[in-house]
Structures are given as C-alpha cells and as structure tokens.
Structure 1
Amino acid sequence: MSSSRRLSALTLAVATAVSGLLGAGTAVAAVVPGCDISQATGATATTVHRATGASPDDGTDDRTAIQAAINRASAAGGGVVSLPAGTFLVSGALTLKSNVALKGQGPATVVKAGPNFLSSVGPYRGRPLITTNRAVNVTVADLTADQSGDTLNGNVSGRLNEYLVDVRWSTNAVISGVTTKNPFTYSIVAASSKRFCIVGSATSTRTQGRYDQLDGIHILNSSFGDVVRNTVDQGAGGATGDGDDGLVAHTMDGGSVHDVRYVGNKVRGGRHGHGMQFALSTSSDVVYNVTVAGNEIWGSPAGIITGYYNSDGLVRDVSITGNDFHDNARNGVRITGRPANVKVTNNRACATGSLTVVAGTGNVVSGTTGC
C-alpha cells in the first residue's frame, strides 16, 4: 500500500474509532484543519471564563488569576480562558485542565516567565511555562509563550525534565498559532501523548553560549499526531547560537513514535543539531508509520538524520517525500542503522548534501531533483 493510501486509511480508522467511543448518534466536534491523523479537536466548549485579577503590562504576577480561571472553567465542564493583548507575567507553570482552551489574541498576547519563575517547579521537577499534564481535550492557541531564557539563568536542575509548552500524558491536544520565545529547554513538545496536533506555530532561539539542546518541536514516545505548517528556526542565533534540532521524533526506554505526519513546515536547525532527527535511545525503540512531506528544510548542518544513543533501534515505514532541502551544510537525508521500508522520493536538493538510506528491505531513494 502506498504511503498516501495508508495515511488515508489511518485517518478514516481514527475518525471511526473516535465516533465509536462517543456512541452512535453522537455529534463529533469539528477537527481542526490540518489535524488529519490525530483527528484532534482540542477543547470544544465555548463558554468564556475571564482571568479576573490578571492585568497585562503592569509588572505584577498573573499566575494565580489565570490558573484560577483555568480551574473554574474545567470545574464547569469546560470553556475558554481568554487573554487580551499584553504581557502577563507568571511565577510558575500554568497547568491546563481537561476541556479547557487557553487563548490569546495572537502574538501580542504574551505569557512570560517572570523574575521568580525559576523558584517553582512543574509536576516532573522541570520548569514548563504551560503544561497539559494528564489533561484531555485541551487547546493552547493564539499567544506568545516566552520562557525568559535570555534574562533568567535557565541552567537549573531539571531543565530538560519538562519543556516550554509541554503536552504531557494527554489525549486530544491542539497547539495552534503559538509563538515561543527565549527558551532554555525544548520549545513545543508532545510527550507520552496521543491525538495531538501542533499547527501554525513558530519556534526560534536567539541566545548564544547560554544553553544546549534547544530543540524546536519535539515528539517523545507519542503517537497519532500532526505537525503541520509550523515555522521552526533554531538557527536564528547564527553561527554561535544555541539552537539544536528543528524537528525531532524521539523514543526512550522501549518507547515508540508512530503514526505522525510532518507536513508543510519551514525548518532550520541550529548549529548543535539538524533540520530533523529520528532519535532512538534503546535497541527496542521504534519509529514507524511517519510521513515527512512538503517541508522546506534549509540552512541546517544536515537536513534529516537518524541518531542512535546507546542503541540500534528501528526506523521503519517512513515516507520522506516532496520536500525542499536547500543550503544544508552536509547531507540532505542520511538514514543509517537498520531501517526498513524507508522511502525517500521526489525531493528537491539544492546546495545541500546527498540523500541516502542504507541498504535494507524496501528502502528506496528515487526522483531527487536539483536546483
């Protein structure tokens, strides 16, 4: 079966499964455009809950007021916590609850780590700015999330335990129109989650010499997801910047990343990383049923690579098709290890290295064009 036919069948299967869970005759909420594999709707309740007491641009902490509105909305069965334009300082993580959307008015709505942010820790001893910890049916949309890594010293214990926008142990989560700034950890992450959709968002890092491992959009042990139409620029800091990989499919401890599509993204990896990495941590880890299509991957040390960390994990049933690789210093694609059924087809490679996959069952590289 071709990759496109397999994904179409999977989309239908997911939609059918969701409908079955709700029961016959139950209306299914509209899927967010672009969330084809996840069939994600996020939070669908429309009642607006104001964060009473949260005042933008006044230099005082707004975490308590915003969190109270989130809790109130969840207790009422769901709703939207709407923030106006302006900067809201928070002294610790905002924890999204089930059936709640946290929405701003666009990039001018800024949720920003305040001067006391590092004194608080998240549920996994990290320092997320926004976390969905174990919530279902959640949305974060139309705002800027600023971790203040340019002014705070984020080199603290647990820095890589949790992430700037942290979708964690959640189902049916949508991150839409979110801009991240000044990270000191990964920017947008789906960790141990399923039915997630990261769409129309933007990440970048501009610090120099302060941090390492600043990935853009990082998928960890998660499945049935869409990463669509995002702008990921981990190389914005230039030749001495702190950026790492732009996109990552990462497995740990026998885990997997599967049934995920990366489509229509514009990606630049930073000097510490690459445009995209399949990263596997143990020999029983597996990345499978992944599509990487129609992306522009540019200006990176390499375009797409595999990385094995004390392992020889498996990458299989992966389609890398119709992408534009340009101005990457080394390989356009380099898939090593023991991959199977990896198809690298009909891509463009301009001022970039070769597109290669080691020999293996069903592996194909074909249709590559130049400038």
Structure 2
Amino acid sequence: MIFSKFLQLLGMAGGVTAKRDLTGGITNLTAAGRDVMADLGIGGAGAWIVVGNADPTGAIDSLAAIQSTLDSCGVAGGGIVYLPCGSFKVSNVLLIPSNVVLVGAGMLATKLISPAGQLPGKLVNGGWTYATVSMIGVANAGVRDLTIDHATNSAWCNGVQIGSAIGTLSTDCSVERIRLLGFDSHQYLIWNYRATGTVINDNVVVGNMAPNSVLDMQGIEVYGGHNIRIIGNTLSSVGGGGAILVWEDEIPGSTTDFSNIVIGQNIIDGGRNAISVNPVTTAKNIIVAGNVLSNQTRSGVSLTSTAAAILENISIDGNAINNQVQYGIELNGAGSTAWRDVLITGNAVLTITDAGGRGVSISSASNVNISGNTVKGSSGYSAVLDGAAKILISGNVFDTAALHGMDITGASSEVTVKGNKIFGYGTTTGYGIHVGPADRVQVVSNIFRFGGSEIEAVYSTGTNTTISGNVPDYIPGFQTPFYNQGSGAISNRFWGTKDNNGNIKAAGFVGRVDIAAGYANTNVSPFSLSQFWNNAAVAFDGIVLSISDYGSAAGSKLLQILGGAGGATSYFAIAKDGKIGIGTATPKSALHVVGLPVYASNAAAITGGLTAGAFYRSSADPDLCIVH
C-alpha cells in the first residue's frame, strides 16, 4: 500500500507529478503528496522529502545525508522522509524527530547497514543511545519499510530504540514492516524503553544467534510503557534471549499502571522464551493472543511476577504453541495473591520434550481460569498446579502425558477441575489426576482414558478432596480408578467401553455394566441407590431386576454377591431356577444355607453371641433352631 503510493508520488504511476531527485539536496513534493500522507495518518506539516546525497552502494557513509534530511523535515513541522532503494552505510545513530517517519522502498529494497563493533552512540536529553535508529523524547515518529542490518559487519548495537531512561518520554511512535538482521551479541533489535502508545507491527526479526547462545539478545523488548501494540511480527533465531519480552519499569513520578499491552498474531521460532511478561508492581489489561510459538528451549508463554505484584485482566488466548522443552504456558506468581481475572483459554500446546516438562504450569499464583485448551504430547505432565489457589480448570483436553495428566500439589487450595477430558495419561507412569499436598480440591465430571501402567484416574492424598461424577472411559482389569487416601468424598459413575453389541465393558470383567467405587480410608458407601416415595395412592417397586432366560447353561445365576479378600467368597446367590443360596454359589433347594454356627442349646447360642431371631444348628434332631 505505502510503496504503491510512493510510486505515484515519484512519478512512476499516473496521477501525481513529482521531481525525483536522489542525488542533490531535498525535494518537497506537491500538496497531492501531503494528502496521501494524511491518509497514512502521519502528523506534521505534511512535507514529503526524498533523501539526497546518500550513497546507495554502501561504499560511503550516508549518516550525515540521512540525518540532515530527517532534521530538516522535523524543522519544517514533520512529514515523511523517503529513503529509496539501496544499501546505505550509517556509522552512528540516526535520530528521528517528532512528527517524522523514515520510510524505505520496502524491507527487501532499502537497507541500513551498521559498521562492525559498537556504535559511538549519541547523547540525547542527558542519556546515551546506541541503536541504529532512535526515537528519543519525541512524539508521532516512526520507521517503516526497510532493513536494518547488523549481520553483514557484525555490528554490536541495538536496532530500533523508542524512548529512554531519562528526559521526555516518547509517545505514539511506530516501527512497522522493518526487517532486522541481528548479530550474535547482547542487543535489543526493537526496544521500547518506557515509551507509551508504541506500535510494533509486521516486522521481521532474524537474530542470527546460536540456539543456546549465552548472550542475551531480545528480539522485541518493552521495558516499561503503556498502550503498546506488538502485532503480526515474525521472529526467529534469537538464541538464549526472549523473542518478545515485556518488563515493567514504572516511570518515575507516574501514577499510570503498566497496562494495555497487546501481543497478537506474531510468529516466533526459537529462543529461550517466546513471550515473557514480567511485572514488578502493577500490570493490567495484558493480552497475548493468536500467536504461533515454536521450538523454544524453555517456554512458549511465560508470565512471572514478584510477590508484591498486582495483576489484573490478563488473557492468554488462542495461541498455538509447539515443541517446547519445558513449558507450554508458565505462570509464576512468587506467592502473590493479588492476581485477578487471569485467563488461559483456547490455546493448543503440542509436544513438550523435557522429561519433567509441563504443558501448563501454574506456580504460586491465584485466581486463574484455565478453560478450553488442548495439551497433547507431554514427556512430563499435561498440567501442574504448585502452590496455586482459587483455580478453575474446565473444558480442557489433556491428551498423552508420560507422567500425570494433572498434578495438583505444593499446598494448592480451592481448585476445581471440572468437565475435562484427560486421556492417555501415565504412558511411563502416572495418574489421570494426582492430588498431593492440597486442600479443598474438587474433581467433578471429568472423563478419563488410561494410557499406561498406572491406572488410577484420580489418586489423592490431599485434604477435603471431592471426587464426584467422573467417568473412566477404560480401566484394564479389576483395579481401583478413584483412590482417596486423604479426606473427602468419592461418588463417581460406571466406566467402560462399548463392544460391537453395544454392551458396556471394562477389560477383565464379564458383566455388561460393571460398577466399582474407589478406595477411601473414610466411611463411605461404595454404591448407594436411593428413591423417595411420596404418593400413597401408587404402589412402587424399589428395585426391579428382570432377567430373561431362554436356555442358559446349568449353573447360571440371576444374582450373586461376592465378598472377602479379592471378592472370592460367595455370600449370596440366586440360581437360574430361583433357588437361593446363602454361603454357597450352588444352591440345591429353594433355600440353601451353608455356614450356620453349631450350639448345643438356646442358652449356649446366646452365650456364643447370638441374639433373638438368629439361626443356628444343634447337630441333633431337629437340627435347625432359632434363638428365642
């Protein structure tokens, strides 16, 4: 769009007549050019100025020619300074004045090349800047549509700097459609230093750093500031540093919070952390959305804070995060409880490679809603809560983890895990959900599918744990899917998989529906069926068991109750012919009782502990007696 308008302004397309002077002095374009500038939203008096006396071959230093053009445009009230096609050597910092935008012919057509080593730097408003292009203490300045090259000559300097530590703050500046080629060194390729209203859009940042470089390069760093947009950028090869790093650094004397930061639709490949947000005191309205983050050596999105920090209205939404080493999404609150309205929603986290890695990790943080995410393929855990409080985890799919699907530990409290699908857990060893040292954890209405050798869907040693309404989709063999060794209640539904006939089964069972409750060291009923009758005019049947027998084999049973160690002893049986057995699985008469105690008399039976109405044998005739 912009380049096509430049072609018009430079006489390369119809509609505008302009003098194209690339060799001598400054060319001010017509009012038509100023109209186009207004369309682009550029402030100032409206001058279009083409840089002259600059060497497009890069053999001669073009710093003075470009800087004098920028200064002249600023003195005239602002406008656009156009730098045409070519490679321009700049031996020091280019300073862009207020209301001036430096625009190239395109990021592949116009190139600024910095010399080897560190730039001499310039002193501006009492502070030094060492960036190829700087906007210090200015408003409505910008740079667009060109390349800044540190790689060719191994330049050791920053790329674009907006704002500084001291003096007047920069406001409403922009960096758009810039290609930045870094050199393996400590440098910030785009650096917002306490500036406000900055737009960093549609840039391409190539760090050219080794994957595990110990040098701290930042692709884009926001060190303080407010109302920042970082949208549509592509970053790669930033080595050991972060691709986008947002630090809080409160502006001296400012009462404005570190707030209104949007990081969206960026593509980031490589680096340690793709996106890091690190507030120190107060951060509000931070949005990280729609980014594609791949191949980081630590994490895709990292949000960490100090214990004193206040975080409010933070959203991590709709990001695609792939092939991380340690964390997909990491929140670490350092014990702060002043987190409010923190959302992690709709993200896809695929492949965590570290053996202890975590798809989603929440440590020492509170008031977090984790909903609608998919985490698949973790060599460690799908999700971990460690010392977290007031956490809602709902509607997520946690699929395939070598260890626990979810680990809730570290004295976490007030956690609700509801309506999630937890599949393929424990491919090495682990549970669907492990509740360790934790309090007031609710595990409700989740679906589990076993993935490895440890089959417990939920294993809890916490206090006040509620495990209710969950459905294990598949449990191999006669095992305990819900195990509460701490305190709390267990109340869950049957599990199984349907065979080709529509029967619901679990491997190792022969029944059509098998219902089992988990182990608990509290006095809870493994199975309870209740019905409330409240109509005296209607007869009710409490439990109806109807079995149609059209030719079953001899020895078939309508009902059998087993107990004892391993459930191997038959306590009660009803054979297919209606004969009832107590203490035997093969009744031979209408009522067949085995195992009655033997006493010589009624008095002896009472002495032996029987009470009125109990049956016993006397080994005489009559043999069957009733205590009276």
How far off is 1:268 after superposition?
2.6
* 2:354 corresponds to 1:354: no
Hey, what's the Cα distance between the residues in 1 that align with 2:53 and 2:324? Answer: 49
Change (3 A) 1:120 1:360: closer
Hey, what's the Cα distance between the residues in 2 that align with 1:149 and 1:122? Answer: 26
Hey, what's the Cα distance between the residues in 2 that align with 1:343 and 1:116? Answer: 44
Aligned 8 A contact 2:131 2:160 in 1: yes
Q: Give the total of aligned pairs.
A: 315
**What is the TM-score with the length of structure 1 in the denominator?**
0.77
Q: Which deviations, in whole Å up to 9, do the C-alpha atoms of 1:129-170 show, x marking residues without a partner?
A: 100001111121000112348624x3xxxx6xxx32001131
Out of 197, 212, 215, which is 2:215 matched to?
A: 212
How far off is 1:31 after superposition?
9.2
* Structure 1 stretches lacking a partner, 5+ long: 1-28, 33-40, 236-241
Hey, what's the Cα distance between the residues in 2 that align with 1:93 and 1:317? Answer: 38
User: Does 300-309 or 203-212 show the bigger shift?
Assistant: 203-212
How far off is 1:126 after superposition?
3.9
How far off is 1:243 after superposition?
4.2
Out of 134, 139, 157, which is 2:137 matched to?
A: 134
Change (3 A) 1:91 1:225: same
Name 1:164's counterpart in structure 2. Answer: 159
Hey, what's the Cα distance between the residues in 2 that align with 1:268 and 1:116? Answer: 27
Name 1:278's counterpart in structure 2. Answer: 277
Structure with greater proportional helix content? 1
Aligned ranges for residues 244-259 of structure 1 at < 5 Å?
A: 244-252=241-249, 257-259=258-260
CA RMSD of aligned residues (A): 2.6
Out of 297, 300, 304, which is 2:301 matched to?
A: 304
Change (3 A) 1:65 1:254: closer
How far off is 1:119 after superposition?
3.0
Give the AA of the match of 2:372.
Answer: G
How far off is 1:78 after superposition?
0.9
How far off is 1:88 after superposition?
0.7
Name 1:36's counterpart in structure 2. Answer: none
Aligned 8 A contact 1:98 1:137 in 2: yes
* Structure 2 stretches lacking a partner, 5+ long: 1-36, 164-168, 353-357, 377-628
Give the AA of the match of 2:172.
Answer: N
Higher relative contact order (CA closer than 8 Å, sequence separation 6+): 1
Aligned ranges for residues 12-51 of structure 1 at < 5 Å?
A: 41=41, 43=43, 46-51=46-51
Aligned ranges for residues 78-157 of structure 1 at < 5 Å?
A: 78-107=78-107, 108-115=109-116, 118-123=119-124, 124-148=127-151, 151-152=154-155, 154=156
Q: Which deviations, in whole Å up to 9, do the C-alpha atoms of 1:184-218 show, x marking residues without a partner?
A: 41111211111111111011211348871111111
Q: Which deviations, in whole Å up to 9, do the C-alpha atoms of 1:168-193 show, x marking residues without a partner?
A: 13111111101111244111121111
* 2:192 corresponds to 1:190: yes
Name 1:323's counterpart in structure 2. Answer: 319
Higher-Rg structure is 2
Aligned 8 A contact 1:244 1:269 in 2: no
Aligned 8 A contact 1:122 1:128 in 2: no
Give the AA of the match of 2:88.
Answer: F
How far off is 1:115 after superposition?
4.6
Name 2:388's counterpart in structure 1. Answer: none
Hey, what's the Cα distance between the residues in 1 that align with 2:267 and 2:284? Answer: 22
Aligned 8 A contact 1:42 1:173 in 2: no
Give the AA of the match of 2:302.
Answer: I
How far off is 1:313 after superposition?
3.1
Hey, what's the Cα distance between the residues in 1 that align with 2:309 and 2:39? Answer: 33
Aligned 8 A contact 2:215 2:240 in 1: yes
Aligned 8 A contact 1:214 1:234 in 2: no
1:164 partner SS: strand
Hey, what's the Cα distance between the residues in 2 that align with 1:181 and 1:257? Answer: 29
Q: Which deviations, in whole Å up to 9, do the C-alpha atoms of 1:312-369 show, x marking residues without a partner?
A: 5333321001111111111111111123321001111111341233465531111112
Give the AA of the match of 1:244.
Answer: G
Aligned 8 A contact 2:44 2:77 in 1: no
Name 1:314's counterpart in structure 2. Answer: 310
Aligned 8 A contact 1:92 1:117 in 2: no
**What is the TM-score with the length of structure 2 in the denominator?**
0.47
Hey, what's the Cα distance between the residues in 2 that align with 1:117 and 1:81? Answer: 26
Aligned 8 A contact 1:257 1:287 in 2: yes
How far off is 1:85 after superposition?
1.3
Name 1:15's counterpart in structure 2. Answer: none
Hey, what's the Cα distance between the residues in 2 that align with 1:243 and 1:72? Answer: 41
Hey, what's the Cα distance between the residues in 1 that align with 2:46 and 2:87? Answer: 24
1:364 partner SS: strand
Aligned 8 A contact 1:80 1:103 in 2: yes
Give the AA of the match of 2:245.
Answer: V
Name 2:369's counterpart in structure 1. Answer: 364
1:136 partner SS: coil
Name 2:61's counterpart in structure 1. Answer: 61
Among all aligned residue pairs of Structure 1 and Structure 2, give the percentage whose two residues are the same amino acid: 21
User: Does 98-107 or 182-191 show the bigger shift?
Assistant: 182-191
* 2:299 corresponds to 1:290: no
Change (3 A) 1:149 1:278: farther
Change (3 A) 1:57 1:312: farther
